Structure 1
Amino acid sequence: MRTEVVSEPGHEDRPNEDFASVGVPAFGQGGCLVVLDGVTPPRTGTGCLHSVPWFTARLGGALTELTVSCPDLTLPEILARAISGTAEAHKITCDLSHPRTPQATVVLARWSAGTLDYLVLSDSVLLLESPAGEVTAVLDDRLARLPRASLATDALIDAEIRNKEGGFFTAAADPSVAGRAVTGSVPRSGVRALAALTDGAARWVEKFHEGDWTQCVGLLRKEGARALVNRVRSLETADEEERTYLRRSKTHDDATAVFVEP
């Protein structure tokens, strides 16, 4: 099995809020992939004593352990348990009802000899490549489909659409959001490779339009995950002044890319 994991902070002086792991069960009949993109907190606070990296490490660690060790649980059940366990770890000291309590996007994949199951929540992406080279992008596009007016300010987003019906959902403190995730299963024989990208790495396709998802997987296979992140960084730097593509986005975002040939 070939695996590559690259995760790089957007700025050297700020901690990386992403999380990535690849697990191989001891019984040797499959594996799992976990990628989280922590939501950068506002300056006004989150109601929590803990940082976003603390949260993504805690949630990501729980997801990895459960996905590897509990093949009898579905991926939504695993996500719900991991969210509940993480919330339990800081519910006494923190206001978990705050709309900006630490939270993250989620990509989960688990494969056995016969099946690959997947789960995507919010705007990270899972790519599945068939033996014929066709690439399917598994996306939770609810955030992308929202009217721009609803995204005008952080206060409006928090009040109207963050983790609310008709808006978008992230993994925070409410385990019921696991039921909102995009999920599915495909035959293991139909997957030659898979990749997971946080939106900082997916910029190569989604923001800079350097290629499509099939070309992105081709780049990952040929040059590796590090090459994809390096290309994104070069594109960000080149557009820093004119902001033709970046517009109002942060110049550099945390970028994580995982590539697996199981």
Structure 2
Amino acid sequence: MKVLLGSQPAGPSRENEDFAAAVPGAAVLLDGAGVAGAETGCTHGIAWFSATLGGLLLSAITTQSARPLSECLADSIRAVRSLHGDTCDLAHRASPTSTVVAVRASAGVLEYLVLGDSTLLLADLDGKATAVTDQRLDEVGKRLRAPVDALSTGSPEHVAALAEYRDALTRLRNQPDGFWIAGPDPLAAEHAFTGTAPVESLTSVTLLSDGATRLVDLFELATWHDTLADVGSVGPDGLIRRVREAEAGDPDGRRWPRGKAQDDATVLHWVLS
């Protein structure tokens, strides 16, 4: 099993809230989200949540190979809840959450699960790159983001508008008319996108947090095929470096309005053949 992994926090003094790991036959990637610091209601923090959930999920999908990925995710969410339910306010509106991408190869079949706005990139034998992405968060965001996108990223006005936007977004989290993401409620796992593909039809699978997909889905400077080619030629770290170069050219978000000038970025590339 050949796996290439690169991950970089949003800034040198920032904690990386992404988590990615692989074992023979399986891999996971999670992108933690929430309101920084004590406002989450969790004494452990967002990075702890994504890493703990990711580790438990990876263990579950490898040791319980007969259970569907969505059930493994629900079990893992329950397990994390039990670890800090007595010390943290899990009913807090900004309790830590995380996107989830999980893949498992067994008996010639690749199973996958995607929840939230991280991306799974499947490369077939013909070189075609197929992206599996949960667009529900983006669709909700587009309805609410106009006041944020009209302002310079990082300005006081932008910070205030972004806080209002996040409040509105939080009210739609894990709601039928909103979007779904892993948090305190195991029910979210039932709303993940799942599917399968024959392992023999694929050359690689690539898991990416949304901080690593900006060249495609935010900046529109590349295609998914370009992304796959970049990972193959310069590796995950090289792809992230290209994202950082684009971000550095637009620090105020004038060309590409966005909530964060830079975001945690993680790429896990699993070569199948």
The alignment's TM-score, normalised by the length of structure 2, stands at 0.89
Give the total of aligned pairs.
254
Quote how far apart the aligned CAs of 1:21 are.
Answer: 0.4
Matches within 5 A, 1:16-165: 16-24=16-24, 31-42=25-36, 45-146=39-140, 148-151=142-145, 153-159=165-171, 161-165=172-176
Q: 1: CA distance between counterparts of 2:110 and 2:62?
A: 13
> Are residues 16 and 193 of structure 1, via their aligned partners in 2, closer, same or farther at CA, if it must alter by over 3 Å?
same
Q: Does 2:215 align with 1:204? A: yes
Quote how far apart the aligned CAs of 1:121 are.
Answer: 0.2
8 Å contact from structure 1 (residues 99, 162) kept in 2: no
> Are residues 4 and 175 of structure 1, via their aligned partners in 2, closer, same or farther at CA, if it must alter by over 3 Å?
same
8 Å contact from structure 2 (residues 141, 169) kept in 1: no
Q: Residue in 2 aligned with 1:232?
A: 243
Which one is further off, 172-181 or 233-242?
233-242
Q: Residue in 1 aligned with 2:188?
A: 177
Quote how far apart the aligned CAs of 1:208 are.
Answer: 1.8
Q: CA RMSD in A?
A: 1.5
The alignment's TM-score, normalised by the length of structure 1, stands at 0.93
Q: 1: CA distance between counterparts of 2:94 and 2:252?
A: 30
Q: Residue in 1 aligned with 2:9?
A: 9
8 Å contact from structure 1 (residues 118, 184) kept in 2: yes
- Unmatched 5+ residue regions in structure 1? 25-30
Q: Does 2:262 align with 1:252? A: yes
Identity %: 37
Give the residue type in structure 2 aligned to 1:2. K
Which one is further off, 90-99 or 230-239?
90-99
Q: 1: CA distance between counterparts of 2:217 and 2:123?
A: 18
Q: 2: CA distance between counterparts of 1:148 and 1:21?
A: 31
Quote how far apart the aligned CAs of 1:58 are.
Answer: 0.8
More helix per residue: 2
Quote how far apart the aligned CAs of 1:42 are.
Answer: 4.7
1:150-197 deviation per Cα after TM superposition (whole angstroms, max 9, x unaligned):
4562222222x1111110111001111100000001111111111011
